[in-house]
Each structure stands twice: as C-alpha cells, then as structure tokens.
Chain A
C-alpha cells in the first residue's frame, strides 16, 4: 500500500534464494549438456526459464526502489551515482537488463532446440555467452561490495611500505648489511620500561601489553585504537600523524627523540603483529 516503503528483509532474502536457484539450475544445465544426461538437461533448462519468469513476478511484488525492483535503466542514474548520489547502484539495473534477456534467450532457444535439432548450435552459443555474462556479473558485484575494502587495505600497505622505505633511507648509516628493520628490536622497544616519566614508563602503559587490544591514555582516560596493524588497518598509514606521535611519545616515554632505525623497527614489529 505504501509505494515508497523501505525494502524489507524478506526482499534481500528472496533475492539471494532466487540467485541460488538460478545459478544452481544453470550449472546443472551446463554440465548435463551431453546426450547421455539429456533428461536432466531438459529439466534444469526449464528450471532456469521458470526462475527467470519468477524474477519478473518478484519485481512486481517487491517494494518500490527496493532490491527486487527492475526500473528502466538510465544513463542519468549512472551520472548521478558518479556524482556521489546515495542509493542503489544503477549498475544493478543495467546488469539485470542485460542478463535476464540473455539467459532467457539461452533457455528459450533450448526449448526450440528440443523440437528442432537445427537450433542446437544457436542454443549452445547463447548458453555459452550467458555463462560469461554471469561470471562478469559476479566479478562486478564482488568489486562493488568487496573492492572498497581491498582498495583500502592495499592503500594502507602502500603507505606503510613507503614510510618504512623513507625511514630506511634516513637510517641508512646505521643499517647493517642484510637486515634493515627488526621486529624483535621493535618489540623490545615497545616493552622497554624507562625512567624518563613516572606516568608513562613504557609504550605498553597506554597501549597495553597486547598491542592487538585497544589501549587507554593513562592520564586522560581516552580510548586508543589498537597499535597492531592486524587489529587496526589504518595504523601507520598517515605519515604526518605517525611523525607527530613519534615526536611526542618518544620524548615522553624515552626522554629523547627516536632514531629512524628505532621507528622502523617499531613499525615493523606492529605491522607483523
């Protein structure tokens, strides 16, 4: 009754189940295409065609602008999305507009080929094209949902690596042949107990003995995100912030500035933690 209602949970569940049914039918049809499994091939082919028809019915049952909706694809929507407009990615609709007819052609040509053997080659070609389209569809979906996280992790790795490279150059005079930075030395520094400040004798005072756990500022009580990169992927990715923290905390805890060697060791320890 409410045309602009927000999508319900059942719609997302229905969409997942439908994808499973369609993909399952398609895979069975694909591997049973030989003559000796012809009955199963025909059955799974009808299954696919039925699933495609069901998808159109689901589009009518779903909420307006929900995940089941199949509005007319438009280029303007892609432009809006690129401009940062929130909402459903318009690529979904474009993929549906391409995939549903393509798979339907594959299925319907199979029904024709069942009656007229001359259409067999056409059916095989269409089904093959459908498979590649479906794989491309899966890759695009994976990129939309997982790509962001992958990009962030890669950017973080790159930032940390360039930071370490810079520190290696700065500390070049002290670097021994072979090993540049050592996680063991970094850990020793992290756990060292110093006399410079009674309030902050060690890194572990605020960051705790286990760097994968969140810490707490010993004086202000402010929560601190974990130091270990495994628990906090953004750690050591902002060079200015890293430099500021070393500048302050080395003087506070050790009573002196840290060398490039020590900074590199420290990051190496927490990157592998």
Chain B
C-alpha cells in the first residue's frame, strides 16, 4: 500500500469515527463521586452544567429535587470539587462549550433536562418518555445504555 492510499484510508476511518466522538463526553472516574451520586441516580457528567450550577446544587443537598441527599461534609467538599473542576465552563471540553453557548449568561439551571442543549437533542414523542423503564427524563441509561461511560450515541 502506498503512502497516498494509506492517507486516504486513515482519512476515511477518521470521518466514520466523527459522529461517535460528537456524542461522547468525559465520564466521571472519581470513585467517591461515582459512589455518592450513583447511590440514587446515574452519576451525571459534570460537563452538562456550568460550575455555578454545581455550586448551587451542592449548597442545597438537604433538598435535592425534593429528596434529602445530605452527606458528610468532607465527602460533599470532595464531590463539589470534582463537579466544579469538570463543569461545562471549566473542564467540560467540546460538549461543555456547546452547553455554555446555548445557555443564558446568568442562567443557573439545576436540571440537566432543562438546559437548551438537552432540549434541542431530545425532541421525542411522548410515547418514548412513557416507556416503563424510563421512569424519568433524567434516567439516561434507559435509552443510552453506555451513558455512564460518557457515550450518548443513540
């Protein structure tokens, strides 16, 4: 195989890989964060919300969407740092930049499912949301089976 053919092949492979990389986000790897968030729901990737949202979230754990998610102070501080460091506007990479671009400058959403970025990608018929295994819009892995690994390919 000559050099040009090899280059073309590499280019072709790179193009086919593009859609996958567009739908992936840096996963949560910190074990304490995975455990603390994952206790009740999937540990959502911090890149889906700006740092100010995570700060507000961690300030109000005693009323976490109506549930009590209080945890030991040192544990909460550790989780807060992981979330703030990986947030859309700090360490969120490409996905984070997209989230920030569509978000108002003062918006501090708490629900990922209410961010413009999420809504834009989830214009689905009500019957999809009504599937029994979905339960709630925040149950990413019900449809994106590898969501916890950061892979949101449909």
Contacts and interface: CB of A to CB of B under 8 A. Distances in A.
A195 to B, nearest CB: 16
B41 A248 contact: no
Contact of A221 (B71, B72, B142): B142
A244 B71 contact: yes
B70 A221 contact: no
Given A217-B40, A221-B142, A222-B41, A248 B72 contact: no
A125 B70 CA distance: 68
Interface of A: 199, 217, 219-222, 240, 244, 247-249, 251-252
B8 interface: no
28 contacts: A199-B66, A217-B40, A219-B67, A219-B135, A220-B41, A220-B42, A220-B135, A220-B136, A220-B138, A221-B133, A221-B135, A221-B136, A221-B139, A221-B142, A222-B38, A222-B40, A222-B41, A222-B42, A222-B139, A240-B72, A244-B72, A247-B68, A248-B68, A248-B70, A249-B68, A251-B68, A252-B67, A252-B68
B69 interface: yes
Contacts of A240: 72
Nearest to B138: A220
Contacts of A248: 67-70
Contact of A247 (B40, B65, B70, B136): B70
A255 to B, nearest CB: 10
B134 interface: yes
Contacts of B42: 220, 222
Nearest to A219: B136
Contacts of B65: 219
The 5 closest A-B pairs by CB, nearest first: A221-B135, A220-B41, A248-B68, A221-B139, A251-B68
B67 A221 contact: no
A220 B42 CA distance: 9
Nearest to A252: B68
A162 B153 CA distance: 47
Nearest to B36: A244
A114 B70 CA distance: 79
A202 B90 CA distance: 41
Contacts of A251: 68
B69 A220 contact: no
Interface in B125-154: 133-136, 138-139, 142
Contacts of A249: 68
A83 B85 CA distance: 34
A243 to B, nearest CB: 8
Interface string B71-82: 110000000000
Contacts of B135: 219-221
Contact of B134 (A219, A221, A252): A221
Contacts of A252: 67-68
Given A221-B133, A222-B139, 11 more contacts: A199-B66, A217-B41, A219-B65, A220-B41, A220-B139, A221-B142, A240-B72, A247-B68, A247-B70, A248-B68, A252-B67
A73 B49 CA distance: 57
Contacts of B67: 219, 248, 252
Nearest to B35: A241
A199 to B, nearest CB: 7
A254 to B, nearest CB: 11
Nearest to A199: B66
Interface string B35-79: 000101110000000000000000000000111111110000000
